[in-house]
Chains A and B, each alone.
Chain A
């Protein structure tokens, strides 16, 4: 009996692995291909914030997105960052005051969450391996909870575990999410580590830079002018 189960596992395992690989190949192939949606319902949107200018750039995008289309909105910032979520709250509160939500439709309220940081500014790349593992576990949990359809980020370290977990869930068929990466305006000549990873791993559906000279260097990136 036990031998049989072992045999079945021996047969099933390679099949499962091949199926997963085929699925991964399909997901990578589809990433970056425009999505066609006939219905104009809303999309669950994850916005990754970060100190050092990241938040201001992200909120400038949120500011011009249709609020009942990109809803509900989930803001995530590093646990050590007290300012960013506060700034997002100020923006969201100003929307409520201006009576943005259209009548009749019940729109889920925006949520604010904190995440362990994978790497503090100045932390060495070696020790950041351990902290990154913790951050990944936390990110997996957050992405499972949020189940975002759209992720918008611009390169604080926290966006990598979030994007990687979202991409894994995409492969596993848990949730299909589109990643929009807009490299921070502070990056003129070189991509950030986060940007470089997402670019090389081809995980972002659309990869945007804010300087033409950077676009020349990374031809798969798009240049759409400056945010700030």
Chain B
């Protein structure tokens, strides 16, 4: 078994954190709660699944940690997801740019799931572009399982965070301020 790493090590928690932000994205919560996806994650060596379900109405079933299957827990909101992101070994997120860049900056492996029910769905643009550049994996709720099966975390390219200084310089130059 390759890819996932850490398989079979007893007593080691490998957490998958799922976040939908402030949105309602039942299709994603339902997908990660399905047996198929939970088994796929377990096969990859993940031991815990923690779901931030936001405004959704689909309630996943809690599963206690035991041998042979992944433990499942969930909550609706948290003022900051930073700690959850930090403790996770894999993040499955909605396509909001906030959680995408927060995760990439932490250098954590990320699967972005695009919500196809949104009307003006420009969000897939960002996820697909970053997936093309191998910074993350991009999935739809119905393809999530295949993406997990096929993913190789080693193939991901670390993301170099952007820099606001050039834009600040442009603003200063335009206004005739000295740039320092």
Contact = CB atoms under 8 A, between A and B. Distances in A.
B24 to A, nearest CB: 11
Nearest to A211: B129
A168 interface: no
B11 interface: no
Contacts of B176: 34-38
Contacts of A56: 97-98, 101
Interface of A: 34-38, 40, 43, 51-53, 56, 60-61, 63-66, 69, 121-122, 150, 152, 178, 180, 182, 184-190, 192, 205-206, 208, 210-211, 222, 224-228
A122 B97 CA distance: 18
A222 B170 contact: yes
B178 interface: yes
Contacts of B1: none
A40 B163 CA distance: 25
Contact of A34 (B125, B168, B173): B173
Contacts of A63: 164
Interface stretch (B12-20, B116-124, B139-147): B116-124
B31 interface: no
A228 B162 contact: yes
Contacts of A122: 118-120
29 contacts: A34-B174, A35-B174, A37-B175, A37-B177, A38-B176, A52-B96, A53-B101, A60-B164, A61-B164, A64-B165, A65-B168, A65-B172, A69-B172, A69-B177, A152-B171, A178-B174, A180-B170, A180-B171, A186-B123, A187-B122, A187-B125, A206-B174, A208-B167, A222-B170, A225-B166, A227-B163, A227-B167, A228-B161, A228-B162
Interface in B4-42: 22
Given A64-B168, A121-B119, A185-B101, 13 more contacts: A35-B176, A53-B96, A53-B98, A56-B97, A61-B164, A61-B167, A61-B168, A69-B172, A122-B119, A150-B171, A180-B167, A186-B126, A188-B125
Contacts of A189: 125, 129
Contacts of A206: 170-171, 174
A186 B122 contact: yes
| Of listed B96, B98, B118, residue having the most chain A CB within 10 A | B98
A64 B164 contact: yes
A147 B164 CA distance: 25
B162 A226 contact: yes
A207 B171 CA distance: 11
A70 B141 CA distance: 45
Contacts of A36: 176
A205 B170 CA distance: 11
A160 B98 CA distance: 22
Contacts of B97: 52-53, 56, 184-186, 228
A52 B125 contact: no
B161 A190 contact: no
Contacts of A190: 122, 125
A40 B20 CA distance: 45
Contacts of B126: 185-186, 188
Contacts of B161: 228
Interface in B128-143: 128-129
A53 B23 CA distance: 13
A154 B164 CA distance: 13
B170 A208 contact: yes
